[in-house]
Amino acid sequence: MTRMHTIEVENVTKEFGSLVAVEDANFQIKDGEFVSILGPSGSGKSTILRMVAGFETPTTGSIAIEGNEVVGVPPFERNSNMVFQNLALFPHLTVAENIEYGLKQANVDKETRQKRVSEMLETVRLEGYGDRQPDELSGGEQQRVALARAIVNEPAVVLFDEPLASLDRKLRQHMQFELQRIQAETGITFLYVTHDQDIALSISDRMIVLNEGAIQQIGTVEELYNAPMSQFVADFLGDLNAIPSTITDLSEEYVTLDTSEGTIDIELDAGGRNENLIHSDGLAEGEPVNLCLRPHEISLQTEPPGDGQPSVTGTVKSRMFRGNEIAYIIETRWDEFLVIEDAGNEQLTNGTPVHLTWSRAGTYLFTPANGTKPNPKPA
């Protein structure tokens, strides 16, 4: 028997009146994967999740769970369970009764139900909490109950609609580890929706980045972080500083950019990051391009760099101490740049004129986005 994908989403579009919430979404999720759908609010990520769960119907396209088409199948006949944003624990039932609910609907006999419930309480580390009411539990404990309720029936996939958003940072981090542990223990496929790139980067195997209803890029967290295909993805997965420029010369090995602070040569075969430049294939001389730099890749110095190393100038605007590193806001002619340096380096005072340099490998070239919507490139 061939192994099906747990979830296959094919050409799914969802319109609410004239609003296109999701536009031609295509992706597959393998059995046992932990995948995040990441996007700003209003990007359509919850709509995708609710279509998989069966609470919304796609306008066009098809969704399959374990190889079975589910469009038109009501939520109670789908092999998926959801952890809701507000958790939606049944207030009139105890913790154990909440977890038992799905088993009862599946007509599991009472003995097995009790056994499964106590196993679940153990899995989510809530032994002895079975007789409590949900509102007697802390936020983190309620999250665990919601999770236990969603995995007790061993569905093909558990869907998460940003349930950790309401927790404080420390508890959220703790729950992220718990989610990973439980996913590894149970082997159930997890599909997690969030607007928080830190959560998505830290918990998932693969990410689907969404903007304004359209999928921007799909890949492992490393791929998306290191080789983003658009400025939107790069910016969303970590801060990005952009220097607007125009291509003045293009050859096999070099591209020459004209910025309002002189010309900068970028080597095109500089190793790993070349990937990014290749993605700007098709660009011709005279076209605009953004030279983008991650905050960690920039170094600050008070003296101008020698031997033709590219640099731009700016002024220190403010400085934030962050323990082992220092974040600087640098006023440049384009925008305020965020630069992060090791705390061991010489500290610069506000108002100091500085030169910003970067390693060759630390640059990204992107076509400037029109508004907030970059041009997605097919994978």
Partner 1 sequence: MSALGSAFGWLERFCHNYGPKIGRSTIVIVLLALWLPIVLVVVMSFAADGVLSFPPDNLTLEWYFVFLENDAAISSVFTTMKVSLVATPITVALATMLSYGVSRYDFRGKSAIQGLVTLPIIVPLIVVGVALALFFGMINVGGGFWSVVAAHVVRTIPFAALIILPTFMTFDRSLEEASKDLGANELETFWNVTLPNIMPAIVAGGILAFTVSFNEFIYTYFVRGTGMETMPIYLWSRIQHNVTPEVNVLSVVFLVVAILLVLVAVLLTNISRLTMRS
241 makes contact with partner 1 (CB under 8 A): no
Among 47, 80, 217, 280, binds partner 1 (CB under 8 A): 80
Asked if 209 and 220 count as a contact pair (C-beta separation under 8 A), the reply is no
Q: Residue 119 CB, nearest distance to partner 1 (Å)? A: 17
Q: Residue 101 CB, nearest distance to partner 1 (Å)? A: 5
Among 11, 60, 68, 86, binds partner 1 (CB under 8 A): 86
The one-letter code for the residue type at 343 is: A
The DSSP code for 183 is: H
Stretch that binds partner 1, among 78-86, 203-211, 278-286, 369-377 (CB under 8 A): 78-86
Q: Residue 81 CB, nearest distance to partner 1 (Å)? A: 6
DSSP string of 237-262?
Answer: TS--EEEEEEEEEE-SSEEEEEEBTE
CB atoms within 10 A of CB 135: 8
Among 42, 75, 368, 376, binds partner 1 (CB under 8 A): 75
Q: What is the per-residue binding string for partner 1 in 132-161, x denoting contact by CB under 8 A?
A: -x-x-------------x---x--------
Among 17, 72, 91, 128, binds partner 1 (CB under 8 A): 91
Tokens of 252: 């096999």
Stretch that binds partner 1, among 17-25, 70-78, 240-248, 305-313 (CB under 8 A): 70-78
Tokens of 80: 């998926």
Among 6, 36, 46, 81, binds partner 1 (CB under 8 A): 81
Stretch that binds partner 1, among 52-60, 229-237, 295-303, 360-368 (CB under 8 A): 52-60
Indicate the residue among 97 and 275 with the shorter CB distance to partner 1.
97
48 makes contact with partner 1 (CB under 8 A): no
Closest CA to 156 of 46, 85, 61, 67: 67
Indicate the residue among 8 and 100 with the shorter CB distance to partner 1.
100
334 makes contact with partner 1 (CB under 8 A): no
Stretch that binds partner 1, among 53-61, 166-174, 257-265, 297-305 (CB under 8 A): 53-61
Asked if 94 and 133 count as a contact pair (C-beta separation under 8 A), the reply is yes
Q: What is the per-residue binding string for partner 1 in 115-134, x denoting contact by CB under 8 A?
A: ------------------x-
Asked if 200 and 36 count as a contact pair (C-beta separation under 8 A), the reply is yes
Closest CA to 66 of 2, 12, 23: 2
Q: Residue 232 CB, nearest distance to partner 1 (Å)? A: 31
Q: Residue 132 CB, nearest distance to partner 1 (Å)? A: 12
Among 11, 105, 248, 350, binds partner 1 (CB under 8 A): 105
Tokens of 69: 């088409």
Cα four-point dihedral sign 244, 249, 254, 258: negative
59 makes contact with partner 1 (CB under 8 A): no
Q: Residue 155 CB, nearest distance to partner 1 (Å)? A: 9
46 makes contact with partner 1 (CB under 8 A): no
Indicate the residue among 98 and 211 with the shorter CB distance to partner 1.
98
Asked if 354 and 368 count as a contact pair (C-beta separation under 8 A), the reply is no
244 makes contact with partner 1 (CB under 8 A): no
Show the beta-strand stretches assigned E in the chain.
7-16, 19-29, 34-38, 60-65, 68-69, 80-83, 157-161, 189-194, 206-211, 214-220, 241-250, 254-259, 262-267, 288-293, 298-301, 311-321, 325-331, 336-342, 353-358, 363-366
Among 67, 69, 90, 154, binds partner 1 (CB under 8 A): 90
Tokens 């088409």 sit on residue: 69
Phi/psi of residue 89, nearest 5 degrees:
-70, 145
Asked if 141 and 126 count as a contact pair (C-beta separation under 8 A), the reply is yes
Q: Which residues bind partner 1 (CB under 8 A)?
A: 53-55, 74-76, 80-82, 84-86, 88-92, 101-102, 105-106, 133, 135, 149, 153
